[in-house]
């Protein structure tokens, strides 16, 4: 296997699939693995390099698969192990890599490990989870909070102790300070490597270890977006999370995980990092070729859509990244869809195209979330339609994650061709139906065609995949930068506003690169970059 084969992830575009909402093959209203396999030609047509599957493991589904009760089997609602093997085979036939979501920080309280652990203080699994004594007054061991609201501790009457849960109380945290736990988890990782997976997206990759002294977190001076659970309506954001996550011991585990993956050349990892110092942590976790291959943070998943913010995020990570490698996304299964979040709640095809071109031109790998290629806005749901426990807790100030998880619209009719069921697990959004794949296939200027064209265009320009980046200018609406490698130097300009922009004089000789049809393009003339509203420019520098 060549270096290029093993480093395929560097600059790759990864398409995230939320299996429950992608395609239902058996009419039960829930998407499944055979449905994904059925749509593999569509995925291949996009021009992506890999797919990332959100959890499909056996689970009671209190958090829709992020509460695992068996790491080595498929939940019956998604199919069976053979269906996963068929999916792997189909993806590889289409030259698509497969990355799966690995939820290692916690299990379901229905996992056999936890069922045994909670029976007594001296059983074989007694120390496999984070247990702690109550304070003398019976209260929780410290002030740590759950991302989903309330204390991060749950009293268990059988052991007469508290257990830690950074998320739902039905998601107890594993004790990574116990070597037996680490060994068991790595065995589950290898189970999937042997089945042919090409990598893992590590859920909450900085949460694995906790402070053994259980010290209280200090207050946070300012509540700002950029981390998991950080928002004004959630008290989790009122703490500076110094002791409940991002502990130094995490590095040792990541090295053991990387050593395992190195035995399977070509496999990769992308870690989700949500912490108060996310860009610093990203750099730390990806440096040196002995930890994670790449990480992504929540810094582009906030409501700040300014090019000033993008510039600051990129320059901050570049300054500390060293040999590390970032991965960027604008949408995923946990946040409001970017078409709404970055445009005052309203979808706009022109802006969707501009933000797409910007993301795919930055230095790093990219995760695209299903439906992002259609420009789908956030779906509006009524309270009685919610199933997300996060949204139910904080309604109406925070409506949860259901609005970004509604079924994929394949055709413009009531079921969206997602399922034959008239009652899917979440309602299909009427606005989405008008933006269905079938509608956009026939429109050469659709968002879908813009994504396909730009992804294929990008594959022919190595500087956009793995080249260096140098920023030349940014303000609220405009970002101008260079991408350069041994083969080419490209000048990239993005204007995400309703106003035109003319740059200052640039000392370059530029030959236009023909951008895909459907994008509004700028021009380089008289040594100035002219960017009309909602436009993109990419030019080759001689």
The total number of residues written for the chain in this structure: 542
**Cα(55)–Cα(104) distance, rounded to whole angstroms?**
12
* Burial classification of residue 190, based on how many CB atoms lie within 10 Å of its CB (0-12 exposed, 13-18 middle, 19 or more buried): middle
Given a cut of 70, whether residue 287 has pLDDT beyond it is yes
pLDDT at 365: 98
pLDDT at 116: 98
Residue 226 — very low, low, confident or very high, per pLDDT cuts 50/70/90? Answer: low
Residue ranges per structural domain of the chain? 3-107+178-456, 468-541
Residue-wise pLDDT for 233-246, tens only, equals: 789 999 999 999 99
Tokens for 360?
């795919």
Residue-wise pLDDT for 153-202, tens only, equals: 999 999 999 999 999 999 999 999 999 999 999 999 999 999 999 999 99
Given a cut of 80, whether residue 493 has pLDDT beyond it is yes
Average pLDDT over residues 374-403: 95
| DSSP-derived 3-state class of residue 164 | strand
Given a cut of 70, whether residue 207 has pLDDT beyond it is yes
Given a cut of 80, whether residue 227 has pLDDT beyond it is no
Given a cut of 80, whether residue 229 has pLDDT beyond it is no
Given a cut of 70, whether residue 232 has pLDDT beyond it is no
Tokens for 169?
């109380």
Q: Residues with catalytic annotation?
A: 203, 272
Can you give the pTM of this predicted structure?
0.96
Angle, helices 278-286/307-321, rounded to nearest 10 degrees:
40
pLDDT at 228: 66
Residue-wise pLDDT for 452-469, tens only, equals: 999 999 999 999 999 999
Average pLDDT over residues 47-74: 98
Average pLDDT over residues 201-205: 97
Bigger pLDDT: 344 vs 73? 73
Above pLDDT 90, what percent of the chain? 91
**Cα(165)–Cα(146) distance, rounded to whole angstroms?**
7
Query: In terms of CATH, what superfamily is 3-107+178-456?
Result: Glycosidases (3.20.20.80)
Residue-wise pLDDT for 118-149, tens only, equals: 999 999 999 999 999 999 999 999 999 999 99
Q: What CATH fold (topology level) applies to the domain 468-541?
A: Immunoglobulin-like (2.60.40)
Tokens for 404?
């970004």
């Amino acid at each position: 296997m060549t270096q290029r084969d093993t480093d395929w992830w560097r600059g790759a575009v990864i398409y995230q699939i939320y299996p429950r909402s992608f395609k239902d093959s058996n009419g039960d209203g829930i998407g499944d693995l055979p449905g994904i396999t059925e749509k593999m030609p569509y995925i291949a047509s996009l021009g992506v390099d890999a797919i990332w599957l959100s959890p499909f493991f056996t689970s009671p589904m209190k958090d829709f698969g992020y509460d695992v009760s068996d790491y080595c089997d498929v939940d019956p609602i998604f199919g069976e192990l053979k269906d996963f093997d068929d999916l792997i085979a189909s993806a590889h036939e289409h030259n698509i890599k497969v990355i799966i979501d690995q939820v290692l920080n916690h299990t379901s309280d229905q996992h056999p490990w936890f069922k045994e652990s909670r029976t007594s203080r001296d059983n074989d699994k007694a120390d496999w989870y984070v247990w702690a004594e109550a304070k003398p007054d019976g209260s929780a061991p410290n002030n740590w909070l759950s991302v989903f609201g309330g204390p991060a501790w749950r009293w268990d009457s059988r052991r007469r102790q508290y257990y830690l849960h950074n998320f739902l109380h039905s998601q107890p945290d594993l004790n990574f300070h116990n070597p037996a736990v680490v060994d068991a988890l790595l065995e589950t990782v290898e189970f999937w490597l042997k089945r042919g997976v090409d990598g893992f997206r590590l859920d909450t990759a900085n949460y694995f270890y906790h402070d053994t002294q259980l010290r209280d977190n200090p207050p946070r001076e300012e509540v700002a977006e950029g981390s998991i659970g950080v928002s004004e309506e959630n008290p989790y954001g009122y703490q500076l999370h110094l002791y409940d996550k991002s502990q130094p011991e995490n590095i040792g585990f990541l090295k053991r995980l990387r050593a395992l993956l190195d035995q399977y050349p070509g496999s990769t990892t992308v870690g989700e990092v949500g912490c108060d110092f996310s860009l610093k942590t990203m750099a730390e976790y990806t440096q040196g070729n002995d930890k994670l291959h790449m990480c992504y943070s929540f810094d582009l998943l906030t409501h700040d859509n300014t090019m000033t913010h993008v510039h600051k995020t990129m320059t901050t990570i570049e300054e500390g990244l060293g040999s590390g490698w970032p991965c960027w996304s604008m949408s995923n299964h946990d946040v409001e869809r970017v078409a709404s979040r970055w445009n005052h709640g309203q979808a706009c095809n022109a802006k969707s195209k501009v933000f797409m071109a910007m993301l795919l031109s930055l230095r790093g790998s990219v995760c695209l979330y299903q439906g992002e290629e259609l420009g789908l806005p956030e779906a509006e749901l009524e309270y009685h339609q919610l199933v997300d426990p996060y949204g139910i807790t904080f309604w109406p100030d925070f409506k949860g994650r259901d609005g970004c998880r509604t079924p994929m619209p394949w055709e413009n009719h009531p079921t969206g061709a997602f399922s034959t069921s008239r009652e899917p697990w979440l309602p299909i959004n009427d606005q989405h139906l008008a933006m269905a794949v079938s509608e956009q296939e026939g429109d050469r200027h659709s968002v879908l065609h813009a994504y396909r064209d730009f992804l294929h265009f990008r594959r022919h320009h190595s500087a956009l995949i793995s080249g260096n980046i140098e920023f030349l200018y940014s303000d609220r609406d405009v970002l101008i930068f260079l991408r350069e490698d041994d083969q080419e130097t490209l000048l990239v300009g993005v204007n995400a506003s309703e106003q035109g922009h003319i740059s200052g004089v640039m000392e370059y000789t530029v030959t236009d690169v023909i951008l895909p049809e459907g994008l509004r393009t700028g021009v380089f003339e008289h040594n100035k970059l002219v960017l009309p509203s909602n436009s993109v420019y990419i030019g080759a520098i001689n």
